[in-house]
Structure 1
Amino acid sequence: MNCYLRMGLSGCLVALGLSACTRMNSSIDGQTFKFTAQQQCPALLEMDVGQTLELQLNENPSTGYQWSLVESLKLFDVESIYHTAEASSSAQVGQGGQKIFYFQAVKAGQELLHVKHARAWEKTAIQEWQCRVRIS
């Protein structure tokens, strides 16, 4: 209400929007942190047991390139699903989709989430994403 009296409703909404943009935390509901390959994780992401990190990555398995975990995790339960484009007249054979990883924090500690986009038979990844997480 104090914000409204000083700046009016539109100024208040802009101020609230800007303050949300400056936060390093990308929690969408207080329980889930959502990232894409283009978004960099903070230097150290703070999470609580029970919270989830969702990572959405573009993938086209028909090229041989797939996203995978670099190392097994001890502090997270991990689930991944693959979504293809909706069945429609524009869908094509070999068309890509999205791989979505869900990392649910199950134990306190610190761990590095590290995924790579590579072909299984090649040593070099074409893209990687990392996030150091502290769980309390």
Structure 2
Amino acid sequence: MTAARLFLPLSLALLAGCASAPKQNVSVDNQSACPLQLENGQNLILTLPSNPTTGYRWAIQDSAGGVLRALSPEVYSSTESGVIGGGGQSTWRFQAFAKGQGRLRLTSQQPWEPEVEPVETFDCAITVN
């Protein structure tokens, strides 16, 4: 084979090797990362500051159910071990399962006072390609 005939297949092979697949996990820890674009099958890991000892809890108001599905319930972890009343973080895991758009919306408030405005809100537009 001549060099000209080898050039095209080798070039295509090199270009295919350079194409990168999207990351399997996309981590978000604040609203400035929004809006989010995910690929079908990607996992979204949402981590927000939390301190349930104050009575405030994050609650999912809109789970973008048409495009995301929950992989696990909320998991709380303390950032300071051994400190009573110290804050921590809550983590949720979702997976993009269908093309489309949705909103992931969580509010932080005391569950026994639902009429009081939330002290914090996380609101993120999600697009799954």
Q: Which of the numbers 107, 112, 116 marks the counterpart of 1:121?
A: 112
TM-score by length of 1: 0.66
What pairs with 1:78-117 in structure 2 (closer than 5 Å)?
78=70, 79=72, 80-85=74-79, 87=81, 91-117=82-108
Unaligned runs of 5+ in 2: 1-21
My pick for the range that moved more, 91-100 or 112-121, is: 91-100
What pairs with 1:56-75 in structure 2 (closer than 5 Å)?
56-72=47-63, 73-75=65-67
What pairs with 1:12-51 in structure 2 (closer than 5 Å)?
30-37=23-30, 39-42=31-34, 44-51=35-42
Unaligned runs of 5+ in 1: 1-28
Q: How far apart, CA to CA, are the structure 2 residues paired with 1:74 and 1:95?
A: 36
TM-score by length of 2: 0.69
Aligned length: 103
Q: Quote the RMSD (CA, aligned, Å).
A: 1.9
Q: How far apart, CA to CA, are the structure 1 residues paired with 2:67 and 2:108?
A: 22
Secondary structure at the aligned position of 2:90 is classed as strand
Secondary structure at the aligned position of 1:71 is classed as strand
Deviation of 1:62 after TM superposition, in Å, equals 1.1
Identity %: 29
Asked if the contact 1:41/1:130 (under 8 Å) is kept, the reply is no
Q: How far apart, CA to CA, are the structure 2 residues paired with 1:54 and 1:117?
A: 18
Larger radius of gyration: 2
Q: List 4+ stretches of structure 1 deviating above 6 A.
A: none
1:134 aligns with 2:116: no
